[in-house]
Every structure is written in C-alpha cells, then in structure tokens.
C-alpha cells in the first residue's frame, strides 16, 4: 500500500504522460484490465498500480501478475487518479519498459510503415493498431510527430503499440536513402496512382504516410519510388490519416496472403 504523494514510483508514473518523462525513464503506461492482460501475454511490466476500488476484472489480472512475481502496489483513489488518463478508470495501470528497437536489427522484409510527422495521438494509436493487425514488420515514426507511447496513443492503439516493433524520432530521409536498394518506398497521396501498385510485390515495401495537415514532406518525398491513392466516390476530398493507413495496409496484407505473415 502506498499512501504518500511523494512516493518515487508514483512520481515516475505521473511523469509518463509526456514524451520527456517517457524518454527519461524508458517507461510507458498501460491502463485498463484488458490492455494490461494482453500485455502480460507479450511482456512483463516493471510494476502495477491498483486502486482500492479495482473491480473483478482487475483482480483477475492482478492474480496473474502476482503469480509471476510482478510488484503490485495499491494506492488510494485520490493518488491513483493522479496517474490515470481515463474518465472511468477500472483501477489498474501497468508501468512497462519502453521497447528497445534498433533500425539495423530489423530484417528488410515484409512491410515497413513510415510515418512522416503524424501529430494526432488518436490517429497515431489507430495506425499502430492496424500495423499490428496487418503484420507490419516495423513502424518507423519520423521526427516531428507525436510520441507513439504517450498514454493517449496507447489507449487509441488498444495497447498494440507494444505488439509491433516501433522506432520513433527517426530521420526518415536518411533511412530511406540508406535502404533504397532493399525497400521500395511508396507514398500515400491523394494525387497518387492506382492502388494496384501495392499488389504482387516481391521486395520489401515501405508505405509512407504523411502528416494530417501537410502530407508527405519534400525531404521524404524525393526518396519515393511512386505513390498511390485510395479510389473514392466524387465529392470526398480525402480520408482521415488513420483510415487511409488501415485501408492501404489491408490492401498489401490481403495480397501477401494472411496465412504467410503474423
């Protein structure tokens, strides 16, 4: 039981709502019994906070954590609310290690998703959830976008930002230049070509998605092999960035064959 507002672990948890705190401590927050339960199937939290009012769903997750000797800390609701990011919390938050993924360690195969200054946490989270669902090899998030591990992104991603390799604050132009021989980079653009360009590729694909407001930057665009657009009925100018990413990733996935990738 923790009762002091100045407890070190509580202080750390409160700092994990910002990019600065996440990078400083190498940790991020996962809230909710379902998300924490899913995470326990993939990794081991550093520690878990529960509120005094944690419900039955949280209790089942806590039992799993205790069996694995994961530290579980009970806190009064007033202190728990200081680290929670939801209006109707179910009383459980896991503090998890930030995945350590090196670009050089990732095999150049399958599909890379490159995010050029995606700034909205909701969009970022939905995109990462789709990247996990459609078997992306990795997500490379460029400089100038939101952090893929802030709490709003984790919630929008349903915790799936821990299920796909992510490299963030990357120099996209440098990555594309150094990998032009092994990855075919194709941009998502309203003025792009036929979506069939994504089908039947024998080499690794790098799907590039630009910012919500400005699209793909010029530095990134000059390394593209081509671009594709999603066909739509007349009168609709564009789609939400997360919707576009999900459709394009599915287009690639269904032609690769769902049985060949996980």
What the chain holds in terms of domains, given with CATH numbers, is 8-97 (3.30.1330.30), 103-256 (3.40.1280.10)
Shortest CA distance to 210 belongs to which of 123, 132, 109?
A: 123
SS3 label, residue 180: coil
Question: Structure tokens of 236?
Answer: 């609709």
**pLDDT band at residue 26 using 50, 70 and 90 as cut-offs:** very high
The pLDDT score that the predictor gives to residue 198 is: 84
User: How does the average pLDDT of the chain come out, rounded?
Assistant: 92
At which residue do the structure tokens 């092994």 appear? 182
Other C-beta atoms closer than 10 Å to the C-beta of 258 total 10
Residue 233 to residues 72, 126, 191, 227, 241: CA-CA distances in angstroms?
Answer: 53, 24, 14, 19, 18
Contact 85, 63 (CB under 8 A): no
Question: Structure tokens of 19?
Answer: 């990019």
The pLDDT score that the predictor gives to residue 190 is: 87
Contact 189, 209 (CB under 8 A): no
**pLDDT band at residue 257 using 50, 70 and 90 as cut-offs:** low
The pLDDT score that the predictor gives to residue 58 is: 83
Shortest CA distance to 122 belongs to which of 142, 80, 151?
A: 151
Q: pLDDT tens, 69-113?
A: 999 999 999 999 999 988 888 899 999 999 988 899 999 999 999
Element containing residue 85 per DSSP (H, E): none
Question: From CA 238, how far away is CA 100, in angstroms rounded?
Answer: 35
**pLDDT band at residue 56 using 50, 70 and 90 as cut-offs:** confident
Predicted structure pTM score: 0.92
Contact 35, 11 (CB under 8 A): no
Q: pLDDT tens, 137-156?
A: 999 999 999 999 999 999 99
At which residue do the structure tokens 């032609």 appear? 255
Higher pLDDT among residues 261 and 55, named by residue? 55
């Amino acid at each position: 039981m923790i009762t002091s507002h100045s407890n070190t672990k509580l202080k750390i948890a409160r700092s994990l709502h910002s990019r600065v705190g996440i990078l400083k401590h190498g940790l991020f927050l996962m809230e909710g019994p379902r998300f924490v339960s899913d995470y326990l199937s993939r990794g081991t939290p550093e520690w878990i906070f529960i509120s005094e009012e944690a419900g039955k769903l949280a209790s089942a997750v806590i039992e799993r954590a205790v069996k694995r000797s994961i530290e579980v800390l009970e806190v009064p609701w007033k202190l728990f609310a200081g680290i929670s990011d939801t209006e109707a919390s179910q009383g459980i938050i896991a503090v998890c290690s930030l995945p350590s993924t090196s670009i050089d360690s990732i095999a150049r195969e399958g599909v890379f998703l490159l995010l050029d200054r995606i700034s909205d946490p909701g969009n970022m989270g939905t995109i990462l959830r789709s990247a996990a669902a459609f078997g992306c090899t990795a997500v490379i998030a460029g400089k100038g976008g939101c952090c893929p591990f802030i709490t709003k992104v984790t919630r929008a991603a349903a915790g799936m930002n821990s299920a796909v390799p992510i490299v963030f604050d990357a120099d996209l132009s440098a990555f594309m230049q150094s990998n032009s021989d092994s990855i075919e980079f194709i941009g998502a653009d309203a003025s792009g070509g036929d979506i069939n360009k994504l089908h039947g590729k024998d080499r690794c694909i790098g799907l590039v998605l630009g910012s919500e407001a400005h699209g793909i930057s010029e530095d990134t665009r000059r390394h593209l092999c081509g671009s594709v657009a999603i066909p739509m009925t007349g009168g609709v100018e564009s789609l939400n960035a997360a919707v576009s990413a999900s459709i394009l990733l599915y287009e690639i996935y269904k032609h690769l064959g769902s049985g060949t990738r996980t």
